[in-house]
Amino acid sequence: MRVFRPTARLAALLVASSLLVGCASSGSSDSEEEQDEFAGVAERELYEEARGSLERRNFTAAITRLEALDTRFPFGSHAEQVQLELIYAHYELGDWEATRAAASRFIRLHPSHPQADYALYMRGLASWQAGRFSLERLKLIDISRRDLGASRDAYTDFSELVRLYPNSQYAPDAQQRIVYLRNLMSRHELHVADYYLRRGAYLAAVERGRWVIENYPESEATRDALAVMVEGYLGLEMRDRAREVLEVLIENDPRHNQLRGRTFEPRHVNAQSLSA
């Protein structure tokens, strides 16, 4: 049998290749160790560095150190506080998605923690911020016409906070934001209802109006929701039902802009005026 014997050139190439692989592997390991700037740093020292970054409002550096603490010392003496401060740092940096993720994680891991209300409040605040435009303050746009997914998340979080922690220091502020969000979302529903009226989808408009009244009974939009229902019933040629709702509208808002005394004037539906 003929035995394969590598040539000197091939043997040299194989040796060089193995050396390159070894160098690459060694270099990668050295590089990873160089990148881990916190290797060997004690928990207390790393936490003090994170706290110093927070106090200097260097939130990027703080997050780097807090995340290192969370990874290297998940059961350390500062573990829960580190997770809380990550929520705060992400919020101050304006990363709403990361704030919500950090807050949700804390609530999941520590549902009975004394500061669980803080985590829930911050999660709501992050959604509140995500749902707003900077131009809103200048009154240049109406955010009730936008998709309100983030605002609905905020409404849910603040409502849950008030329900679960009525004595929380964050409950009063959450309650005020609930009122604002309730009015915002009810106006949004009415914009959709008006669209349905213009398109002739009268049943859908009636259902939107009823939904506002049932889900946001304390909002400013309930009167307009009643008007939407009156007009929708007129479009469906259900004048008796329209008159029933009209009487409720007159009782609650006798000066509504679609009323002329006790007579209702439709805006979008081609129908005769309706008197109570």
Please write the tens of the pLDDT for every residue from 199-253: 999 999 999 999 999 999 888 899 999 999 999 999 999 999 999 999 999 999 9
Cα angle value 138/143/148 (rounded, 5°)? 150
Backbone angles phi, psi at 111, to 5 degrees: -65, -25
Instruction: Give residue 23's pLDDT band: very low, low, confident or very high (50, 70, 90).
Output: very low
d(CA 40, CA 198): 68
Q: pLDDT value at position 52?
A: 96
* Mean pLDDT, the chain, whole residue set: 86
pTM of the model: 0.75
Query: What are 260's strand-pairing partners?
Result: 263
Q: Which of 70, 47, 71, 50 is nearest to 62 (CA)?
A: 50
Phi, psi of 201 (to 5 degrees): -90, 70
- The candidate with the shortest Cα–Cα distance to 234, out of 269, 201, 205, is 269
Cβ atoms within 10 Å, residue 58: 14
Cβ burial 12-33 (10 Å sphere, 16+ → b, else e)? eeeeeeeeeeeeeeeeeeeeee
User: In this predicted model, what pLDDT tens digit does every residue of 176-195 receive, in sequence order?
Assistant: 999 999 998 899 899 999 99
DSSP string, 134-156: GGGGGT-S-GGGS--HHHHHHHH
pLDDT at 136: 55
Query: In this structure, are residues 220 and 242 in contact, taking their beta carbons and an 8 Å threshold?
Result: no
Comparing 5 with 224, which gets the higher pLDDT?
Answer: 224
Which residues, in sequence order, are CB contacts of 255 under 8 Å at separation 6+?
Answer: none
Per-residue model confidence (pLDDT) at position 205? 97
